[in-house]
Amino acid sequence: MNIHTPPSPPRPLEDAFGRRISYLRLSVTDRCDLRCTYCMKARPEFLPKSEVLSLEELTELAQAFIRRGVTKIRITGGEPLVRRDVVTLIENLGQEIGQSGLEELCLTSNATQMPLYAERIAAAGVKRVNISLDTLNPRRFAELTRTGQLSRTLDGIAAAKAAGLAIKINTVAMKGDNEHEIEDLISWAHAEGFDITLIEVMPVGEVETHRSNQFLPLSVVREQLETRWTLKDLPDSTGGPSRYARIAETGGRIGFITPLTQNFCAGCNRVRLTCTGKLHLCLGREGALDLRAALREGGPGAVDALLDQAMNIKPEAHDFSVAPGSQPSVARSMAETGG
Ligand code: SAM
Ligand code: SF4
């Protein structure tokens, strides 16, 4: 008698601390048209293009994660929309939604290229985009981004809104730079119908100033907001590090990402893949596995084996510190890792 044993379903990704990994942040480029002062140096050295994964390789690796139980993929960078073929990748992965285990495909962008791509992105199945905006003051925007123009980002946001994409604004809260503008940003975002998330500056990568000069604890920001508004904590969680509240007076949602003042690692459900195929298991730790070599030299089986190895070594927590005199926790910038 010929007994066929059905192939066993692939094992979902679970790390040594029992955390299920269901979220991949996929960086498609480390390049960017802006030079935000907290993210990169004025003259960054970008990776040679020859090292960057092809569209086919990015798709294949993303599919390997989906087979292992990843349900959400965020396309990021650098600025993902400065990579010319990224919309094709978004369209390829969009076809997986509802067909494989992929439930959500989303994007983080600075929005400068959104007028060109928003409609195609929405048509590909993307429902939500995170857009970074740290100030509504044109002069400060030019200073903070070094090369940017506020009007271009606002046009991009308008294009994303017109294409029907739900928008969350990401704002890095910075001492001196934008701390007195945070209430204006919240009022503006909520009037536009957008969620907004405030982020503590993280000590990743070298920038021109010490992080202690930029760091503004969100506990202080929240106290300040509560002198003006009523914040009611919400149970909502996107499986991420953001803690949400609703502001009674504006009706809008505000998120707080507080890696420094309130560690969120216990619920970590994510890993990050760079555009050269390095798999980073923690934003705040050095060390990565080379999925590009595994894919090129060993194919899907080798990729799967490396994912198993990754689950055994994913660190329990980051060790960020912005104390005066401290070194960056990791040398690579957020743009390289895929923030
Ligand atoms: N270029 C896109 C953008 O700006 O949205 C995507 C990549 S960017 C690296 C992703 C997010 O990381 C942005 O919201 C940015 O503000 C944030 N970010 C960059 N450097 C950071 C740092 N040192 N600390 C905290 N957030 C940072
Ligand atoms: Fe570019 Fe985003 Fe970094 Fe700003 S935060 S420099 S937009 S990658």
Find, among 26, 22, 109, 121, the residue nearest to 72 by Cα: 22
pLDDT of residue 260: 76
| Alpha-carbon gap, residue 70 to 93, rounded angstroms | 13
- Decide: 284 in ligand 1 pocket, CB within 6 A: no
Our answer on whether the CB atom of 32 is closer than 6 Å to any ligand 2 atom is yes
CA torsion 217-222-223-226 (nearest 10°) is: 170
Counting from 1 in the atom list of ligand 1, the atom nearest the Cα of 32 is: 1
- CB of 172 closer than 6 A to ligand 1? yes
The residue to mutate among 33, 178, 197, 199, having the most atoms of ligand 1 within 8 angstroms of its beta carbon, is 199
DSSP classification of residue 196: E
What's the pLDDT at 239? 57
Residue 96 · residue 73 · CB < 8 Å:
no
Three-state secondary structure call for residue 73? strand
Residue 215 is classified by DSSP as B
Residue 203 has what pLDDT?
Answer: 83
Q: How far apart are CA 246 and CA 189, in angstroms?
A: 13
Identify the CATH number of the domain defined by range 23-337: 3.20.20.70
Radius of gyration of the chain (CA): 20
Residue with tokens 């989303």: 106
Ligand 1 centroid to Cα of residue 129, in Å, is 14
Q: Is there an atom of ligand 2 within 6 Å of 172 CB?
A: no
In the numeric block, the tokens 């990754």 are attached to: 310
Are 108 and 339 spatial neighbours (Cβ–Cβ below 8 Å)?
Answer: yes
Secondary structure class of 45 (helix, strand, coil): coil
* The Cα angle at residue 309 between residues 59 and 77, in degrees rounded to 5: 40
Q: Determine the pLDDT at residue 338.
A: 72
Torsion of CA 260, 254, 156, 185, to 10 degrees: -90
Distance CA 161, CA 119 (A): 10
Going by their DSSP bridges, the two strands 278-280 and 289-290 should be labelled as antiparallel
- Ligand 2 centroid from CA 308, angstroms: 32
Q: Sign of the CA dihedral 327, 333, 334, 336?
A: negative
Residue 204 beta carbon below 6 angstroms from any ligand 2 atom? no
Residue 248: the pLDDT is 98
Strands 166-173 and 195-200: parallel
- Which residue's CA is minimally distant from atom 20 of ligand 1? 39
CA 269 – CA 241 distance, rounded (Å): 9
- Report the atom number in ligand 2 closest to the C-alpha of 148: 7
Task: Give 45-100 pLDDT, tens digit per residue.
Answer: 999 989 999 999 999 999 999 999 999 999 999 999 999 899 999 999 999 999 99
CA distance linking residue 172 with residue 145, whole number of Å: 12
Looking at the CA of 197, which ligand is closest? Answer: 1
Residue 60 near residue 93 (C-beta atoms within 8 A): no
Determine the pLDDT at residue 1.
44
Low-confidence ranges of the chain (pLDDT < 70): 1-9, 236-240, 262-263, 321, 328-330
Residue in this structure with the two tokens 């390789």, named with its chain if needed = 57
Mean pLDDT of the chain: 91
Distance CA 58, CA 274 (A): 10
Bridge-based pairing of strands 231-233 and 243-247 is: antiparallel
| CB contact at 8 A, 75 and 83 | no
Neighbours of 223 (CB within 10 A): 10
| Through-space distance between the first and last CA atoms of the chain, rounded to whole angstroms | 55
Supply the pLDDT for residue 94.
Answer: 97
- State the pTM of this model: 0.93
Q: Which among 248, 306, 253 is positioned nearest to 281, based on CA atoms?
A: 306
Amino acid present at 93: L
Quote the CA–CA distance of 40 and 37 in Å, as a whole number.
6
